[in-house]
Amino acid sequence: MPVSPSHRVIQWATGAVGGYSLRSVISRPWLELAGVLVFDPKKAGRDAGELVGAGPTGVVTTADVHEIMAIPADCVLHMPLPAPFAGGSRTDDVETICALLRSGKNVITTTGFVYPQAYGRGLVERLEEACREGGTSLHGTGINPGFMCDLLPLALSGLCVRLDHIYARECSDFSGHPSARIVGDLIGFGRAPEEYVRSVRPFRAFQRGLFAESVHLVAAALGVELDEVEERDEYDLAREDFEVAAGVVRRGTVCASRWLFSGLVRGRPFMTIECVYKSDAARVGRWPSPGFSAHIEGVPQLMLSVDEVTQGLAGAAAHAVNAVPAVCAAPPGVRTLLDLPLTTGRGTARLA
């Protein structure tokens, strides 16, 4: 929505999601690009528009974090790879975000933080303190989590007089994803089974925390207290060699994975999130076809399917960019989608 005066925005990282975000910021007349942080030295010192195939902006990219921190801005679109993927810890992301918040910049991130309350009061109090010091807000978002497995089920719940179980599913096709670092190094496609089990540990820990946030968020919105969030995963092996945008997947290496996250109440699942990742959906027949779906078991029973999202990374970026005016206008603090005017089925859940 148009806003006057425009908001000054910093783009933090220009990878798979950040590139879409930067292009989106440049195209919006109600946003002013204030600065761009890059992590690849080859991207530094270039016009931000040139970097993403847009017209010149007059904003030159930098790899200097201190330079970016010193730039006055209303909001930072924080979109690096999560720190655990680069050999760091989750604490590194927290420290960076807190520093940005304390500097007087609102932060919208796609590295999690959709529902930090899932990690306990300690983390929330640290984030809230940084928000108070800077008079700023933090909002974690994306397409999944951030929309498909939490916002959509909550919207559907507004039609229910009783909720027994919520099931949200994502199946993503990575055949066109250009990043070998994400497709191979992080998700583990193209790795031998033994190597996959060892190398995917940081990704597994991050996934567990990330989707536990969504499960806890939905439960909190509906007034349900979870006992625990259970996680399990499995993988499939390629039956032939084939090529994807990020490289070659060899026969006998991991070509797909399936993750389940279940929020339990007295041993029974109240909400389950299924995530299926395929290196190439045309080559992997096991598990569902690409798309998103949300199922609600209760009265009435509901199912909503999104059969295709052609550019999921663009959707994740857009969800963050579109939130800039609301986050900048919000009072200081951690802002989840529960702070938005949603119609949910709060108070209707009935557990056996």
Which residue, among 186, 175, 184, has the nearest Cα to 253 in the 3D structure?
184
All structural domains of the chain, each given as residue ranges with its CATH number in brackets, are 7-141+317-339 (3.40.50.720), 151-308 (no CATH)
CA 298 remoteness from chain centre:
28
Cα–Cα distance for residue pair 275/212, rounded to 1 Å:
13
Ramachandran assignment for 341, one of left (phi > 0), alpha (psi -120 to 50 degrees), beta (any other): beta
Q: What is the mean pLDDT of each run of 10 residues along the chain (352 residues)?
A: 70 94 93 96 96 94 96 97 77 95 97 94 97 98 92 92 95 91 91 92 85 96 95 96 97 98 96 97 94 95 85 87 92 87 44 48
Q: Is 227 helix (H, G, I), strand (E, B) or coil?
A: coil
Cα–Cα distance for residue pair 232/273, rounded to 1 Å:
11
- 230-277 residue pLDDT tens: 999 999 999 999 999 999 999 999 999 999 999 999 999 999 999 999
Cα–Cα distance for residue pair 261/167, rounded to 1 Å:
10
Q: Is 107 helix (H, G, I), strand (E, B) or coil?
A: strand
Cα–Cα distance for residue pair 331/132, rounded to 1 Å:
10
Token pair 């946030």 is at which residue?
Answer: 213
In the prediction, which pLDDT does 260 show?
Answer: 97
Q: Is the distance from CB of 81 to CB of 179 less than 8 angstroms?
A: no
Q: Is 52 helix (H, G, I), strand (E, B) or coil?
A: coil
Q: Exposed, middle or buried by CB within 10 Å (0-12, 13-18, 19+), for 8?
A: middle
In the prediction, which pLDDT does 200 show?
Answer: 83
Which residues in 77-111 are b (16+ Cβ under 10 Å) and which e? bbbbbbbbbeeeebeebbebbbebbbbebbbbbbb
Cα–Cα distance for residue pair 98/347, rounded to 1 Å:
34
In the prediction, which pLDDT does 344 show?
Answer: 37
Residue 311 makes CB contacts below 8 A (sequence gap 6+) with 20
In the prediction, which pLDDT does 179 show?
Answer: 86
Six-digit token string for 77 = 């679109």
Cα–Cα distance for residue pair 139/324, rounded to 1 Å:
10
Cα–Cα distance for residue pair 167/190, rounded to 1 Å:
29
Q: Is 154 helix (H, G, I), strand (E, B) or coil?
A: helix
DSSP-derived secondary structure letter, 141? -
> What angle do helix axes 16-27 and 312-321 make, rounded to 10 degrees?
50
In the prediction, which pLDDT does 240 show?
Answer: 97
In the prediction, which pLDDT does 85 show?
Answer: 75
